[in-house]
Structure 1
Amino acid sequence: MRNLVSSTAFLLCLLFMACSPATNIQSEPAPGFALSTYRQFAFMEVSSEVEDAGPNYQGHIHFLKQEIAQQLEQRGLRQVEAADEADLLINLGIVVDKQVQTRETNIITDPPRYIGQRRYTWQSKEVEVGRYNVGTVSVHLVDPVQNELVWQGTAERIISDRPEKLREQIEKGIAQLVEEIPS
């Protein structure tokens, strides 16, 4: 009995952890790449021609750049403003995808649909339950001398609509992403 209770509690913990949104990180370095061989970095221009970008889009890009700069400075690099002075360029890609969460109706528990003249029909169909946004940030590190991509990484997760929660998610996601860059 004791084993049953403890294994049930363990399975419930795993279930709750699996349901919590996590940041999906992917990283791919070029062969022989090491961040320690670079001294200074600069950001490439981010295109801001986005439909439905929202009122705080530029503010979020600025905050994202600040977080990346802070993480790279903690790793020993220095940010410069002019791209021609940097020995490492950072290219950002930002995608926010609006998703619709649905569920399928159940023909056993959901009531039938009335279609007139005493005709009822049981059909399962997709019902919208909610809407959410999935944000993806891709970071490309480019060696301007060789004009080659030396590292690329992406961070993807469900993002919050609340600005303070979104900033917290950006901080954690960028910290996890920059941690994946080989030293």
Structure 2
Amino acid sequence: MRASILLLPLLLLLSACQTPQLQRDFDPNRDFAAYRSWSWQEPGVQYKPDDPRLNSDLTGQRIRAAVTEQLDQRGLRTTAANTPADLKVKVWLIVDNRQQQVSTQVGGAWGNPWGGGFWGGPGYVETRNVDYQVATLQIDLLDGKDGKLVWRGSTEQIVRNNPANPSEREAEIRNSVAQILSQYPPR
């Protein structure tokens, strides 16, 4: 019983962090309506760290398909190979190791605060370090003429166990890319 009470604050903390953290930044001096075509800035998908568990052709294919689908829905068309594009696209998948301290009050007084008094011994605070991983999916859009970054969107999530099958992995990637690009074009 006592162990489950100690884990409750930790679980609440981790579940609160599970909501994706969307961010975006853009150059307000750019005319985003003028951008009508795009192509990949090779290498189109980069991984940090360059770990084979993260860097896979299958993951790269899923990311590229999801980005293509979302940009197409926004009226941007893919250019043919070796044809200049209005935008160049580069995607980063970054996994960071993080640590957080979690403190829990253990022991202390019990009783009725409205009149029957309190009893019990002194309490203490137990502090533990919790290690976890955070994955960031970042999409950069660069101007095709001058190569400067004009728009960046990203989402950050705590890494849980890997999805059980390829269709779940694809759905997670499609959902993340859709969330990021829902902020494009800037309004």
The two structures have a TM-score, normalised by structure 2, of 0.65
Residue 182 in structure 1 maps to residue 153 in structure 2 = no
| In structure 2, C-alpha distance between the alignment counterparts of 1:28 and 1:48, rounded to whole Å | 21
Tell me if structure 2 keeps the 8 A contact 1:29–1:181. Answer: no
Percent identity over paired residues: 26
Any idea what the Cα deviations from partners look like across 1:122-169, whole Å, max 9, x if unmatched? Answer: x9765466x543111121111121222111111111233333544333
Instruction: Give, in whole Å, the separation in 2 of the partners of 1:104 and 1:166.
Output: 34
The letter for the 2-side match of 1:60 is T
The one-letter code of the counterpart of 1:70 is E
> Structure 1's 133 and 107: CA in aligned 2 closer, same or farther, altered over 3 A?
same
CA-CA distance at 1:105 after TM superposition: 6.8
The number of equivalent residue pairs is: 155
User: Which secondary structure state, in structure 2, belongs to the residue aligned with residue 44 of structure 1?
Assistant: strand
- State the one-letter code of the partner of 1:73: D
Cross-structure match for 1:153:
153
Residue in structure 2 matched with residue 172 of structure 1 by the alignment: 175
Structure-2 change in CA distance of 1:49 and 1:106 (3 Å): closer
Name the Cα RMSD after superposition.
3.3
1:90: how far off?
A: 0.6
Could you say what secondary structure the match of 1:169 adopts?
helix
Structure richer in strand, relative to its length: 2
CA contact (8 A) 1:39 1:87 kept: yes
Q: For structure 1, which runs of at least 5 residues remain unmatched after alignment?
A: 1-14, 110-122
Equivalent position SS for 2:42: coil
Q: Secondary structure at 2:51's aligned position in 1?
A: coil
Cα distance in 2 between the residues matched to 1:147 and 1:82: 17
Q: How far apart, CA to CA, are the structure 2 residues paired with 1:177 and 1:40?
A: 19
Match of residue 62 from structure 2: 63
**151-160 or 80-89, which moves further after superposition?**
80-89
